[in-house]
């Protein structure tokens, strides 16, 4: 590359650093940027499978473990890769050192397990970068106000990388992963080759895609890129020359198709209360106790019935189902319902696109397509640039394929 020297943050996910050979490969990619004259900070994830193993051990010992100890344990995976990559870089003759969250320090909120980054002091690191030293930063971790190690929620290394890029005033943030960009849908769910890589995606669309289930970027990393205007790219560690996908402003996208992408999430559960009184205060009586129990309620529908009673259905994260049911049962005297039903075998499928604003009929196409496939829609929710439906989990793949095709997203 002959471009003028830049400050770059490169992030490598779990598959990219899965073993020693791959860590060597990452070191070579980093060296390439250093040799081109750039200042480089690298953010690494734990080796693939490592975080799951650590989470598993913690849960095995105690399902109701202390969240601070959870963070102490699960943050360890990134410490190992940061050290290994620093060693691999030194072995290639590149000056490098590892940085753990607390050493920088990446200051976070006290929400252990899903902490938010509050501040990253950049001057010390910028000095080292200017001297030509590569900073190898352990992703996913920080230090909370309580002086304990914190982690940023699963997939959080993306957020570490974008936040670091914002703090350092980097020219760009490159997220290297196991796919060569953001696709029209998860390339793993479509028959080989049908999903298409997007050259560009608007921040708003990527935000919806991520929060509606596309795990290619953690939602908070997209928020951070959008707010701090960090030029962020997603590209493949194994084929970086393919170019990847750039997150950009809506104005930078010339051709605004009605639907840009399709996301799905199996992480859903549905709760229905039968025969609740249709009167003021009922929603508060139901959703108040859920909020107090820390449950995030997503989609909601209420049917009006003639005898003053109504059925109310809503969704929560599948992992929060038991807690939600317990909270509702406890508040049952105040709510007053006839029956409480739940279903954990549901999934949410969403179509997303900024072009939707200008193209009426996107919802109708979605509903008709699902109807033709005999897929029943249980709940619907919409925003300006997305339509989500809740369906039986067994139909997720069928639904995504049919929608991908009807909106003209299939690769030729
Ligand atoms: P990393 O370990 O590098 O952070 P992740 O597994 O977190 O990687 O994210 C990459 C994965 O995201 C891909 O392997 C792919 O299966 C999944 N994914 C889901 N939706 C999409 C999408 N729309 N485009 C690309 N990848 C997607
Ligand atoms: N290692 C962490 C996880 O698996 C963070 C990350 O990979 O982004 O969730
Ligand atoms: Mg990830």
Q: What is the CATH classification number for the domain harbouring 78?
A: 3.40.1160.10
**Residue minimizing CA distance to atom 4 of ligand 2:** 51
> Residues 157, 298: one domain?
no
207's enclosing H/E stretch is helix 203-211
Query: Residue 38 — φ and ψ, nearest 5°?
Result: -85, 155
Residues 315 and 173 in one domain: no
pLDDT at 278: 86
DSSP state of 297: E
Which of 161, 178, 195 is the last residue in one of the domains?
178
Q: Is residue 395 part of a domain?
A: yes
Whether 163 and 268 map to the same domain: the answer is no
Ligand 3 centre distance from Cα of residue 281 (Å): 41
Angle between helices 20-35 and 76-91 (to 10 degrees): 60
Please list the residues that pair with 343 across neighbouring strands.
270
State the total domains in the chain: 2
Packing angle of the helix pair 123-130, 157-168 (nearest 10 deg): 80
**Global pTM exceeds 0.85:** yes
pLDDT at 3: 66
Closest to 228 in 3D by CA, of 174, 186, 182, 168: 168
Instruction: Determine whether the shortest distance from the Cβ of 155 to ligand 2 is under 6 A.
Output: yes
User: Is 218 among the domain residues?
Assistant: no
Using the mean position of ligand 1's atoms as its centre, give its distance from the Cα of residue 407 in Å: 22
User: What CATH number corresponds to the domain at position 363?
Assistant: 3.30.2130.10
174 and 287 share one domain: no
Distance (Å, whole) CA 80 – CA 74:
11
In angstroms, what is the span from residue 245 Cα to ligand 1's centroid? 13
**What pLDDT, on the 0 to 100 scale, is given for residue 1?**
45
Domain that holds residue 81: 7-178
CA 75 to chain centre: 18
Is-cis flag, bond preceding 334, omega within 30? Answer: no
The domain boundary residue, chosen from 128, 160, 178: 178
Give whole-number Cα distances, 204 to 10, 186, 211, 253, in Å. 23, 18, 11, 12
In a domain, 197, yes or no: no
Q: Whose CA is nearest to atom 1 of ligand 1?
A: 13
132, part of any domain: yes
Nearest CA to ligand 1 atom 9: 216
- Looking at the fold, whether 287 and 157 belong to one and the same domain comes out as no
* Residue where a domain terminates, one of 178, 194, 229: 178
Task: Answer yes or no: do 37 and 132 share one domain.
Answer: yes
Q: Is residue 343 part of a domain?
A: yes
Residues 152 and 25 reside in one and the same domain: yes
**Which positions ≥6 away from 13 have C-beta within 8 Å?**
45, 48, 157, 158, 175, 176, 177, 178, 237
- Which ligand is closest to the CA of 140, given by its number? 2
Q: How far apart are CA 132 and CA 280, in angstroms?
A: 64
Atom in ligand 1 nearest the alpha carbon of residue 237: 3
> Would you say residue 351 lies in a domain?
yes
Q: Are residues 270 and 173 in the same domain?
A: no
**Under 8 Å CB-to-CB from 38, ≥6 apart: which residues?**
5, 6, 7, 8
CA atoms within 13 A on the CB side of 381: 14
Q: Say yes or no: 271 and 173 in one domain.
A: no
Residue nearest to atom 9 of ligand 2 (CA): 154
Distance 157 CA to ligand 3 centre (A): 7
Identify each DSSP E strand in 194-334 by its residue range.
200-202, 232-236, 245-248, 261-277, 297-304, 309-317
Answer yes or no: do 288 and 170 share one domain: no
User: Which of these, 262, 241, 232, 245, lies nearest to 197 by C-alpha position?
Assistant: 245
25 and 165, same structural domain?
yes
Cα–Cα distance, 237 to 176 (Å, whole number): 5
**406 CB-near residues (< 8 Å, 6+ apart):** 365, 369
**254 lies in a domain?**
no
pLDDT at 189: 85
Q: What is the largest CA-CA distance in the chain?
A: 78
Taking the centre of ligand 3 as the mean of its atom positions, its distance from the CA of residue 378, in whole angstroms, is 30
Task: Sort 105 into a burial class: Cβ within 10 Å, 0-12 / 13-18 / 19+.
Answer: middle
Task: Please name every residue paired with 149 in a beta bridge, in sequence order, or none if there are none.
Answer: 143
- pLDDT for 230: 96
Query: CB of 179 closer than 6 A to ligand 1?
Result: yes
- Report yes or no on 241 lying in a domain: no
Instruction: Print pLDDT tens along the chain (412 aa).
Output: 446 899 999 999 999 999 999 999 999 999 999 999 999 999 999 999 999 999 999 999 998 889 999 999 999 999 999 999 999 999 999 999 999 999 999 999 999 999 999 999 999 999 999 999 999 999 999 999 999 999 999 999 999 999 999 999 999 999 999 999 999 999 988 776 899 999 999 999 999 999 999 999 999 999 999 999 999 999 999 999 998 999 999 999 988 889 999 999 999 999 999 999 888 888 899 999 999 998 999 999 988 777 889 999 999 999 999 999 999 999 999 999 999 999 999 999 999 999 999 888 999 999 999 999 999 999 999 999 999 999 999 999 999 999 999 999 998 8
Q: Which ligand is nearest to the CA of 77?
A: 2
Cβ-count burial 75-99 (b if 16+ within 10 Å, e if not): bbbbbbbbbbbbebbeeeebebebb
Do 171 and 269 lie in one domain? The reply is no
């Amino acid at each position: 590359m002959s471009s003028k020297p830049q400050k770059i943050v490169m992030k490598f996910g779990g598959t990219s650093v899965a073993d020693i050979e791959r860590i060597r490969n990452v070191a070579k990619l980093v060296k390439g940027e250093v040799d081109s004259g750039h200042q480089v900070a690298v953010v690494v994830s734990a080796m693939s499978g490592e975080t799951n193993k650590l989470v598993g051990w913690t849960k095995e010992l105690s399902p109701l473990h202390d969240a601070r100890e959870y963070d102490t344990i699960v943050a360890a995976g990134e410490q190992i890769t940061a050290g290994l990559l620093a060693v691999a870089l030194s072995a290639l003759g590149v000056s490098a050192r590892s940085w753990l969250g607390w050493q920088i320090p990446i200051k976070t909120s006290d929400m252990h397990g899903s902490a938010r980054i509050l501040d990253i002091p950049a001057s010390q690191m910028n000095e080292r970068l200017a001297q030509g030293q590569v900073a190898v930063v352990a992703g996913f971790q920080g230090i909370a106000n309580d002086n304990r190690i914190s982690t940023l929620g699963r997939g959080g290394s993306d957020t570490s990388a974008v936040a670091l890029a914002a703090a350092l005033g980097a020219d760009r943030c490159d997220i290297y992963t196991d796919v060569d960009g953001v696709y029209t849908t998860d390339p793993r769910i479509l028959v080989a080759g049908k999903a298409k890589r997007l050259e560009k995606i608007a921040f708003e669309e990527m935000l919806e895609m991520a929060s509606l289930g596309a795990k290619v970027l953690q939602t908070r990393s997209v928020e951070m890129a959008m707010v701090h205007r960090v030029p962020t790219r997603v590209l493949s560690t194994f084929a970086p020359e393919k170019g990847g996908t750039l997150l950009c402003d809506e104005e930078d996208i010339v051709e605004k198709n009605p639907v840009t992408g399709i996301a799905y999430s199996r992480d859903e559960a549905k709760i229905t209360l039968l025969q609740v009184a249709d009167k003021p205060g009922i929603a508060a009586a139901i959703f108040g106790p859920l909020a107090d129990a820390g449950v995030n309620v997503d989609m909601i529908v209420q049917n009006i019935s003639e005898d003053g009673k109504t059925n109310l259905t809503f969704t929560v994260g599948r992992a929060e189902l038991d807690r939600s049911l317990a909270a509702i049962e406890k508040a049952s005297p105040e709510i007053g319902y006839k029956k409480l039903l739940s279903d954990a075998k549901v999934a949410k499928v969403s179509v997303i696109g900024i072009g939707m604003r200008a193209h009426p009929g996107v919802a109708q196409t979605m509903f008709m397509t699902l109807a033709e496939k005999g897929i029943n829609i249980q709940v619907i929710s919409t925003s300006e640039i997305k339509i989500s439906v809740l369906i039986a989990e067994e139909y997720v793949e069928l639904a995504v394929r049919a929608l991908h095709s009807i909106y003209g997203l299939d690769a030729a």
